Amino acid sequence: MSQEISNHPEGKYKKAIVILSVSIPLAVAILFGVNLRKLGFNVEPLTFLPPIYATINGLTAFALIGAVMTIKQGNRKAHEIIMKFAILLSIMFLVLYVAYHMTSDSTIYGDLNHDGILQASESVNLGLSKYVYYFILITHIILSIGIIPLVLITFVRALVGKFEDHKKMARYAFPLWLYVALTGVVVYLMISPFYA
């Protein structure tokens, strides 16, 4: 059975997909908790990065929509180029996101006085927006983890020429990836007033 899998065109990519699907979220989670300044390193906070990586999320959303439009028009080559660009954008996002959190203090939604604590008075002023924000943030995070294997499997299926299987998987990967990209922008827009 394992010999059949390794001889299958997708089989040689299976191990890489599993490794990346586990290691990327794990690495991001670990590095997210590492603040170089708190560890004594003399680094400037990269506070200019959030609007950049939010823009990258927006560009990813446009790329995904463009990729769907080109494949519906039968332009497979343009579709392939745009999808590779979308993957590159997602990698860039991850690098910048981790760099920001490794050099800057986390921002708390609603922390108007920037003291790192959400006071009761600040929380009351948020009203229902805090529930909307945290719903969007949590679904964004969960789906950003889940989208990794979906995107990789979808990409590999195209890579090995299994276009019908690729198309079936893309029906799930596309809307989820688009949601992750768009909610990344929404999360930034909602929390940006609270950056110090």
pLDDT less than 70: residues of the chain = 1-9
pLDDT at 2: 39
Identify which of 172, 150, 186, 164 has the alpha carbon closest to the alpha carbon of residue 20. Answer: 150
Q: Give pTM, 2 decimals.
A: 0.91
Structure confidence by residue, pLDDT tens digits, 7-51: 566 778 999 999 999 999 999 999 888 999 889 999 999 999 999
Q: Which pLDDT value is given to residue 145? A: 96
pLDDT at 185: 98
Name the domain count of the chain. 1
pLDDT confidence of residue 3:
41
Report residue 94: phi and psi, to 5°: -60, -45
- pLDDT the model gives residue 9: 65
Q: Output the pLDDT for position 7.
A: 52
Cα distance between residue 113 and residue 123, in whole Å: 12
Which structural domain range is residue 114 located in? 2-194
Cβ proximity of 25 and 145 under 8 Å: yes
Distance of CA 67 to the CA centre of its chain: 18
Give the CATH number for residue 147.
1.20.120
